[in-house]
Structure 1
Amino acid sequence: MSADPASNLASQPSRGLRTSAAGAVEVRRSARRRRTVSAYRDGDRTVVLIPARMSAAEEQRWVAVMLEKLAAQESRRMPGDDELAARAERLSEQYLHGHAVPDTVRWVTNQNSRWGSCTPAEGSIRLSHRLRGMPEYVIDYVLLHELAHLLVPGHGPRFWKLLESYPRTERARGYLEGVDAVDRLPDPQRDLDTARE
């Protein structure tokens, strides 16, 4: 994966968005690329950068290879449900005096408009898969936020008082607000692809 996704991108027009089992995939061909192929996640889609001269069969093979590599990288970075539950227990002890004790803590793939959710009556906490790859302090903040909901259901002063002890609350909130803002920005390429359909 390229360190700088935008490097060497004197692109020819994109071949458009397509979907795979891993979600939307956008292939961008570049006349400046000679041999290298790179890929990165851009929100819920994957962008694969390939040389312009590559055949359709080579493109298809490389897209599959790059999706597999990205998935492997992400699975190494994203803790599993058991590790997430242990993390929740540690955060509850450290910041909530151990008062928030969830019955279940798990990752889910069906939350695209929120980062996490909590059902106090069931003691369940769910974190969105969209958090994967984000800094640990951001994941910890979302987890702590949901743990606090086990104690205080709403977002009133009592709720925010519980989060005051976490030193990176404001930084994590700013990070997540930034991600949300970028997701709402117009995407000229996506708009162009939609207009062509």
Structure 2
Amino acid sequence: MIRTLCLLAHRPDRDRAFFQRYYEERHAPLAARLFPFVGYARNHVEQGEAFDWDTISEFMVDDPLGPVRVMEGPHAAIVRADEENFLDHARLVPARVEAHLFSAGPVTDGEERRLAVLIEGERDRAMTWAEALARDRAGVSLDVIVGRDAAFPADAVFWLSGHDDPGPVPPGLVAKALRMRRYETDMVAVKHDLENEGLQ
């Protein structure tokens, strides 16, 4: 399975609140129906957090060419027109990641809250930090960026359930913690609905 993170931001004439609301109410349902996602989630940056983007989206696919075929097919115009309503394409930053799960359990707390810790520094140090935190916490994972593009602001993204402070940053790492709220689309249910409608 191929896992990708994507940083997305609002159009210059919109704001974070509009962007996140439109994404959840309009764009995410459309994308879930058109793209061959195995997993699809949006981590919305909480209001007040200083970050150049509004959302970190997670996309999982079995076929890496599946999304390409959608964007070259008959639905491409629909997707692009909807994107123009809320996001700034010039600030979109995708990154292929290598996922590491350190402890099982829920990835959010009871209020869908999650902490994203953007890490710069050596991979081994980040892995050691994740292992240490996973001893006392559930749902600890680390996404290591594969072939990092200069535009992506981290070498890895460390995920923790809730908004609790992860504690001191180990020497040799630079970390920025972001409070987020996560929304996940049930892709099994989406596929079931499409089959019932005779669209798959």
TM-score, normalised by the number of residues in structure 2 = 0.27
Q: Higher relative contact order at CA 8 Å, sep ≥6: structure 1 or structure 2?
A: 2
**Rg larger in 1 or in 2?**
1
Name the structure where strand makes up a greater proportion of residues.
Answer: 2
Which structure features the higher share of helix residues? 1
